[in-house]
Structure 1
């Protein structure tokens, strides 16, 4: 069955939709389905996307293509609407660079079924569902009526009241009423009617966009929250005139980001002509303050809300519950998940960045109350006429009263989202759950009386194929995917491991077995994971759930839900285990044919796991023990590269014992060799963990004290001194690395890159295939965790922009890739790796300055090594397959 996956879209949630579409594309069972990627751009065009672009980190990395963006705007990340009013011909020329434009009347020639991962207006509101029904394409999820209810928070509120369903008190404020109101009086009236504090929401947005909790009892805080929900931003004359050119660029960059700012195009002070691009916005603001006497400029998104919802703040435990249809079409609530946040608002960052919040399933309250939540969610699902599945959020307060809120007919579909997280509690992998959603959606669409016979034929064929797959004995290659660890990179390792597991589990060649590693450097603890534990939110939750599963009986609600969903689980998954299995390395060798090490930092990249696998002659991915021990050590890596003639940054190690002995005298020694700013970072951690640009002696002292602290966690004073966020990890070490700041040094062009590669066996020899490097652009001084791993964050341009001229571009790329290959050879890297470097370019020479080498690079869904592999025609699965193939061939070669 051909499955058209609709992703992207016109809403502010388009990046999460893009990432969710990629998840569906990768996880569809390839024995049952053929995925067809349909990217919806922000102008509403449907594009049959070339598969290479599915694996870009963000939409802005490929669309519009860099070739279509004026050179003056290359420093900004832009969506296509920033190019201004485009003719049909201009749009089609842009589309042709990434795929093929598709008209709705042609959908039937491309697909048998549409899987919708679009969020917000135009995708989650019934609009697209109506188009698909018109053209006779069955689709996933809610129908037109329930979708239109699910998108509108204000309509939901009215329905809740009509049905007598407890929900926080609320009021609606229109844009016109807001403009004409006395803000202080309105604030006072709102406090009287809703109590204080309260929440202000944009009623047609998801992902916590346009949402703010008003906790400060001031008119200013109230105004800020309401204008945030209306997508209005204000800038004062004083503020603007004090900005440097760089400050203006930073302000505008934040403003045009649709996840935290108001986006483009926008209206400046009600002037009818919209501002489309950031350069134009800077000019317009300069001009406005030059010719106007106004002290404030108001900026408003063209697609702003016309009303906002103001809602009573509920002090209670927050939960989210996925409701699905059972085999008889009745609503079945999965175990509700409690959201444990670091702050009052479960915001975009908390929702989508690994380790920034915790999801506890089921919610940690009395069992009977959990059952009441499940019943309330199932009842609401039925009353709102939802179908197939929905996500319903809510609160339970101290008195035990349940408040339901924000039902969604399209859940986020990132790998660790509630959608997959709760399905795993009944034993379904993401691949199996997607099959269930498609089959259930077909049954629901057949009820409409539109093309029912054809839809039932599809259902019948799918049922036969599902049954056939269940009966087949597996002769697949068994691969243990080891994830987790005990370093500050453990959460990202889990994301990498899950991604590898999901890529392999949807294939017809491999049977992946998820394995979690924890413990210490002295003793590794291994556990084979059931799917429900593998899909917990982060490594710490997985560790906790392993212990609970081994020591305690299964929670009553989980057991009941498994029983209630047994018909679903038996059909789509067969026999399922929910208990983790402790393993030794010897027991692991009896279970599997090969290992994929998805660990980052220690252990994994330091050769410790490899030593154990070598003893058992168990093939694995990546470099061997000696090379891993070298590349984990950034100091040693630089020393070896320097011996081989590479340019490296000046560097030195800093040790805890010398800090204890010398104190401030140690800072004097560092200052005698290095100028500020300098770079300080752990010498054996990655993922941007604790990498800082140090600008002063005080900052260097604060960094050193925090790194060499005696307590496991930094103190509040240490966090404040270094500007660490509440949940941000900062490792505790006995040594760290100082490096000179690598700068332009007079080069004509200077950029930061990251380059991946693959090694192969050809005619009995190891060869290196070096990919086109990506150009990494940091919003601030150092590439952040978000920019590397959070969906929609960061900018990785692949290939790097070495030169505007094609011939010169190819020439420089060849030089840089040869340098990266020489570095890999000097360090004896095998399998694959990622090398980070800076490049200085003059008219007559090119310098590559290697920063570090990652022997087990991050393999999360959006990581740029997949973008690079795609240029060489490797889909992520193909790339992973090649990595495993090399490891198994190497093991055979060594055993001869």
Structure 2
């Protein structure tokens, strides 16, 4: 698939220079290293002849710093999880009403400017990156950014409210229970009873975490309390989901240009291989390369393929998403499509499902990055 030329691209940056892209990654969440791996993929593929790329890392303490643009430093090639270290020079955004620029400070020295930026590619996963907080900061700085806005990001991060929104537009959601921090502290026994009523197996999840962090598959009541406490290490609010028998089907969604409808990829399927993993957990996703088989297009009847793509677009619109999202479903033996979740900043390495599904659908990885940047630059900040 070849995209038409991006209209107005020369107006993005004065003097017809290359658009300046800040690739932002790391962050304060438990998905810090996953974000670094995503950034490695993008830094290795983005067209540096077309864009002026500025890599900025966010350390676990929340400080922003200039980092090495060598993708190898942020990949899993070394055998360990990559990490952004807090630097001696701190980076900040500054909006003077004439555009947004990057400032660098070091010790007691006066800030120096790195120049104007045109767009931010926020490759952060989890809280303080994917949940609307960073998007709100970028809105306040009046700088365009890739991906959904504040509300869509917040709803997409919270598995509780995500389900509420999906149910409101008629999407099929599996049985679930929510345990807030107050409910757990006031009456843990009542919370355990509610979860047990779902039957077993049940999946205990932090409400606002991703990459399968803190998720436990529980097969009987004796394991519930420990699983809930493990999830609460990531988020005081916990979601319990009834196990659903079915195939795991995913669809990549890409915002349409202008007033066009969202575009959907061919569906993909994840099959966890027999072995050490009961489900598609963190190790299976990022560490054990043989743990899961990824196939695209998924072997589905034509009618089901058409239906799951339409449902993915409906989910994208339901939360008000922009840019990109990956929507995950269960396809049950009786032919039902049950929506599991939407991920508003999915893993974006060359071997991640989102880029793989678009590659199989005719959009190569580098071209997909181009389109996401174009979409970000084509929309205004603020209310829209």
Q: TM-score range by the shorter chain?
A: 0.7 to 0.9
- Which of 354, 357, 362 is the matching residue for 1:422? 357
Residue by residue, what CA displacement relative to the aligned partner does 1:198-234 show, whole Å, maximum 9, x if unpaired?
111101100011111111x242x11221111112xxx
The corresponding residue for 2:210 is 206
- Give the C-alpha shift of residue 326 in structure 1: 2.9
Residue by residue, what CA displacement relative to the aligned partner does 1:221-250 show, whole Å, maximum 9, x if unpaired?
11221111112xxxxxxxxxxxxxxxxxxx
- Which of 58, 67, 73 is the matching residue for 1:55? 73
The corresponding residue for 2:330 is 395
- Give the C-alpha shift of residue 180 in structure 1: 4.2
- Give the C-alpha shift of residue 126 in structure 1: 1.4
The corresponding residue for 1:345 is 279
Distance 1:218 1:130, change over 3 A: closer
- Which of 123, 130, 136 is the matching residue for 2:129? 123
The corresponding residue for 2:265 is 334
Would you say how many aligned residue pairs link Structure 1 and Structure 2? 341
- Give the C-alpha shift of residue 50 in structure 1: 3.6
User: Over aligned residues, Cα RMSD in angstroms?
Assistant: 2.2
1:132 aligns with 2:141: no
* Whole-Å separation in 2 of the counterparts to 1:327 and 1:164: 26
- What does 1:521-536 align with in structure 2 at a 5 Å threshold? none
1:95 aligns with 2:87: yes
- Which of 32, 43, 50 is the matching residue for 1:32? 50
The corresponding residue for 1:195 is 199
* Whole-Å separation in 2 of the counterparts to 1:445 and 1:405: 31
The corresponding residue for 1:41 is 59
Three-state SS of the structure 2 residue aligned to 1:36 is strand
Three-state SS of the structure 2 residue aligned to 1:105 is strand
* Whole-Å separation in 2 of the counterparts to 1:26 and 1:319: 28
* Whole-Å separation in 2 of the counterparts to 1:2 and 1:426: 28
The corresponding residue for 1:691 is none
Distance 1:34 1:203, change over 3 A: same
Of Structure 1 and Structure 2, the greater helix share is in 1
- Give the C-alpha shift of residue 170 in structure 1: 1.0
Provide structure 2 residue ranges, at least 5 long, that are not aligned to the other structure.
1-18, 102-114
Residue by residue, what CA displacement relative to the aligned partner does 1:573-625 show, whole Å, maximum 9, x if unpaired?
xxxxxxxxxxxxxxxxxxxxxxxxxxxxxxxxxxxxxxxxxxxxxxxxxxxxx
- Give the C-alpha shift of residue 189 in structure 1: 4.0
Residue by residue, what CA displacement relative to the aligned partner does 1:837-895 show, whole Å, maximum 9, x if unpaired?
xxxxxxxxxxxxxxxxxxxxxxxxxxxxxxxxxxxxxxxxxxxxxxxxxxxxxxxxxxx
The corresponding residue for 1:249 is none
- Give the C-alpha shift of residue 446 in structure 1: 6.6
- Which of 168, 171, 174 is the matching residue for 1:168? 174
Q: Residue 53 of structure 1 contacts residue 62 of structure 1 at CA under 8 Å; is this kept in 2?
A: no
Residue by residue, what CA displacement relative to the aligned partner does 1:128-159 show, whole Å, maximum 9, x if unpaired?
11211222211101111211111111111211
The corresponding residue for 2:305 is 370
* Whole-Å separation in 1 of the counterparts to 2:47 and 2:170: 42
- What does 1:524-563 align with in structure 2 at a 5 Å threshold? none
Q: Residue 179 of structure 2 contacts residue 191 of structure 2 at CA under 8 Å; is this kept in 1?
A: no
Scaled by the length of structure 1, what TM-score is found? Answer: 0.37
Q: Residue 4 of structure 1 contacts residue 110 of structure 1 at CA under 8 Å; is this kept in 2?
A: no
Q: Residue 388 of structure 1 contacts residue 444 of structure 1 at CA under 8 Å; is this kept in 2?
A: no
Residue by residue, what CA displacement relative to the aligned partner does 1:44-80 show, whole Å, maximum 9, x if unpaired?
111122435861557976754xxxxxxxxxxxxxxxx
Three-state SS of the structure 2 residue aligned to 1:441 is helix
Three-state SS of the structure 2 residue aligned to 1:370 is helix
* Whole-Å separation in 2 of the counterparts to 1:174 and 1:446: 33
The corresponding residue for 1:318 is 248
Three-state SS of the structure 2 residue aligned to 1:51 is coil
- Give the C-alpha shift of residue 161 in structure 1: 2.3
Three-state SS of the structure 2 residue aligned to 1:102 is strand
Q: Residue 318 of structure 1 contacts residue 339 of structure 1 at CA under 8 Å; is this kept in 2?
A: yes
Q: Residue 36 of structure 1 contacts residue 110 of structure 1 at CA under 8 Å; is this kept in 2?
A: no
* Whole-Å separation in 2 of the counterparts to 1:191 and 1:19: 37
* Whole-Å separation in 2 of the counterparts to 1:228 and 1:154: 18
* Whole-Å separation in 2 of the counterparts to 1:17 and 1:200: 23
- Give the C-alpha shift of residue 31 in structure 1: 2.1
* Whole-Å separation in 2 of the counterparts to 1:61 and 1:384: 32
- Give the C-alpha shift of residue 182 in structure 1: 5.4
Three-state SS of the structure 1 residue aligned to 2:165 is helix
Q: Residue 212 of structure 1 contacts residue 345 of structure 1 at CA under 8 Å; is this kept in 2?
A: no
1:14 aligns with 2:32: yes
Q: Residue 174 of structure 1 contacts residue 306 of structure 1 at CA under 8 Å; is this kept in 2?
A: yes
* Whole-Å separation in 1 of the counterparts to 2:211 and 2:192: 26
Provide structure 1 residue ranges, at least 5 long, that are not aligned to the other structure.
65-93, 232-303, 450-896
* Whole-Å separation in 1 of the counterparts to 2:128 and 2:217: 27
The corresponding residue for 2:229 is 227
Distance 1:394 1:121, change over 3 A: same
1:150 aligns with 2:156: yes
* Whole-Å separation in 2 of the counterparts to 1:315 and 1:227: 26
Scaled by the length of structure 2, what TM-score is found? Answer: 0.83
The corresponding residue for 1:445 is 380
